[in-house]
Chain A
Amino acid sequence: MKEKILAFCLKHWKEIGLVLLLLVVFGKSQYDVRNIIKAHEIAEQSLKDQISTLQSLHTEELRLRDEALEQYRIEIEELELEYEARQAEIKDLTRAEKEVIIKEFKQDKALIIQRFEETYGLRYVE
């Protein structure tokens, strides 16, 4: 049996050598491909992690943005309310001032003269 195998090997040593060489090349290429796939998987996992982190960061940024916009809206609303209230206050003050001036005129005409002089810089003529 052994002799038969040896004779076969000696007869077909070239084919056997070729098959062995092909097996080595195949094995090496498989090993390389596995490593390339592994490297690719690492890069893929890294990108997935990056996307996930970026998404969470983006969500956080949007939350902060919404919070800031809401705060801005509230502040502007408050300012506008205050502005309107103070405008009304000024109108009331003007009304009161008019009444004071009319009253002053009845009591002392010199006061209205003084007011005109001080307010508009006009010169009083007797």
Chain B
Amino acid sequence: MLNSLMLLALLSTASAEDFTVVAEDQPAPFEGVLLSVPAAAEVLAKYEEAQLKCELKVEFQLDKAGTQCKLDKKLLEARIVTLDQQYTEIIAQKDLVIEKQQTIIKKQAPQRKWLWFAGGIVLGGASYYGIQQAVTQ
């Protein structure tokens, strides 16, 4: 009877975060869950395991992200190098085309413009004279 009363008293004073260790056949001081030693060891060890696993997972995800970042960087670098070379090549080719076409244009016009001008005057005058003669005859 006295034991029961003491147990009841303990039950009423036991808070939500209390625990105790009892030997076999010993009455529990308050209502709760009794774990075997291996189960208690499991609870304690699992806590540490969860912590280690969490740290490992974070480390793994960070390493994976780092590797992904490295890959993205390499791909971008390759793209930049290619675009840079493309740009240089296209500009060089365009310059070459412009230079060659300028040579063709210059060969045709600028140096001989007075010759073409004089030729035009002569040809125009001759045509005019010819037409006039043809009309008057």
Contact = CB atoms under 8 A, between A and B. Distances in A.
Q: Are A and B associated in one complex?
A: yes
Interface of B is mostly: helix
B44 to A, nearest CB: 5
Contacts of B82: 57-58, 60-61
Given A35-B108, A46-B97, A94 B48 contact: yes
Interface string B49-77: 10011001000100110011011001100
A126 B30 CA distance: 11
Contacts of B127: 21
> Which secondary structure dominates chain A's binding surface?
helix
B10 A54 contact: no
A88 to B, nearest CB: 11
A27 interface: no
Interface string A1-39: 000000000000110010001001000000010010011
Contacts, number: 145
Contacts of B104: 35, 38-39, 42
Contacts of A46: 93-94, 96-97
Interface in B3-37: 10, 14-15, 17-21, 29-30, 37
A116 B32 CA distance: 16
A123 B17 contact: yes
Interface of B: 10, 14-15, 17-21, 29-30, 37-38, 40-42, 44-49, 52-53, 56, 60, 63-64, 67-68, 70-71, 74-75, 78-79, 81-82, 85-86, 89-90, 93-94, 96-97, 100-101, 104, 107-108, 123, 126-127, 130, 134
Interface of A: 13-14, 17, 21, 24, 32, 35, 38-39, 42-43, 46-47, 49-50, 53-54, 57-58, 60-61, 64-65, 68-69, 71-72, 75-76, 79, 83, 86-87, 90-91, 93-95, 97-99, 101-102, 105, 109, 112-113, 115-116, 119-126
Given A69-B71, A83-B60, 10 more contacts: A35-B104, A46-B94, A46-B97, A57-B86, A57-B89, A75-B67, A119-B47, A125-B14, A125-B18, A126-B20
